[in-house]
Amino acid sequence: MSTQLTPEILAELAKRATAVRKNIIEMVTAAKSGHPGGSLSAADILVTLYFAVMRVDPHAPADPERDRFVLSKGHAAPVLYATLAERGFFSHSELCTLRQIDSRLQGHPDMKSVPGVDMSTGSLGQGLSAANGMALAGRVDGKDWRVYALLGDGELEEGQIWEAAMLAAHYKLDNLTAFVDYNGLQIDGPVSEVMSPLPIPEKWRAFGWHVLEIDGHDYNAIYDAIETAKTVKGKPTMIVAKTVKGKGVCSMEGIADWHGKAPSSEECVKFLAELCG
C-alpha cells in the first residue's frame, strides 16, 4: 500500500518543519545549552505526527481518547516543545524560556508541567516501556487511540530497550508504532564506532516487530509508514527512519559535535540564514 499526502498538506508540513527548526535553533541559542542535532533530525517525523496523523486537541491536552506520543530520546526536547507550540499547545513566546529557572520547559520533557507532553523522559532507554504501558492500557479498555514513540539510535545501546521490545511483541501491541531516529551519531561519535547497535532493522525483526525502513525526511514516506503500521495486526511496528543529524542547517548536518552544544548568537544568525536558504 502507498498512501500519499496531498500537495497542500505536503506544503503545510514543509512550512511547519521550517518553523520548528527555526525555533529549535533560537531556543537552544537562548538557553545557551541543549541538543540541536538530534532535535533537527527528528523534526520531520514529529511534524508529520502532529500535523497529519495524531488525534490530539491543543485545547484538551489530557483528553483520555487522544493518541499518545513518547519522546524516549528526551534530550530532543526542543523539537517536541517547538512542535507542540506550533500545534497550539502553548505560546511560541514561551519557547525562549527553555532550560531557564522557573520555566515549564525543562531540559528534558516533564509531563507534569507541559501541556501535550505525555511522558516525562530523558534518562535514556525508558520511554518505550512507558509507551508499552500506555498501549496495554488502551488494549485493556478496548480503546482505538494509538501510541507513538521515538527512540534514538544511540539509545538502542540501553538494555531496557530490548526488554521493552520483547514485551511489545509478546503482547502483540499493534496499537504501538515506534520510530528509530537513525542519524548514526551519538555524543562520542558514530554509533557504529562507539558501541554498534547495527544492524537495526534486523534486530527489531528478530524481536518480533513489523519493521519498515524509510527516509526520515520524506513526508510521504513517514506518513505511508504510519498508515501501513495501522493496518498491521498482531505486531508492533518499528519504523527505522534514516535521518541526518542537524538536518536543515547545512553547517550542522552530520556533525556529532552538534549533539549537545548551543550555537553562539553569531552562529545562530548564520544557521537561521541557511535554514531560510
Interaction site with other proteins (CB under 8 A)? 64, 68, 70, 110-112, 118-120, 122-123, 125-138, 140, 159-160, 163-164, 166-167, 170-171
Q: Tell me which amino acid residue 198 is.
A: L
Q: How far is CA 166 from CA 34, 130, 171, 205, 245, in A?
A: 32, 14, 9, 11, 28
CA distance 37 to 35: 6
- Measured from the CB of residue 160, what is the shortest distance to other proteins in angstroms? 4
The x, y and z cell numbers of residue 134, run together, are 500506555
Question: Strand ranges (DSSP E) for the chain?
Answer: 68-71, 147-152, 176-182, 185-186, 189-190, 210-215, 237-242
The torsion region of residue 196 among left (phi > 0), alpha (psi -120 to 50) and beta comes to: beta
Nearer Cβ to other proteins, position 52 or 147? 147
Least distance in angstroms from the C-beta of 143 to other proteins: 9
Smallest distance, Å, CB 80 to other proteins?
15
Smallest distance, other proteins to C-beta of residue 60, A? 15
Q: Which residue, 124 or 221, has its beta carbon nearer to other proteins?
A: 124
Q: Which is nearer to other proteins, 92 or 235 (CB)?
A: 235
Q: Among all chains, which residue has been given the C-alpha cell 545562530?
A: 268
CB-neighbour burial class of residue 206 (10 A; exposed 0-12, middle 13-18, buried 19+): exposed
Q: Which is nearer to other proteins, 63 or 188 (CB)?
A: 63
Residue 269 CB, shortest distance to other proteins, in Å, is 36
Residue placing its CB nearer to other proteins in the complex, 61 or 254: 61
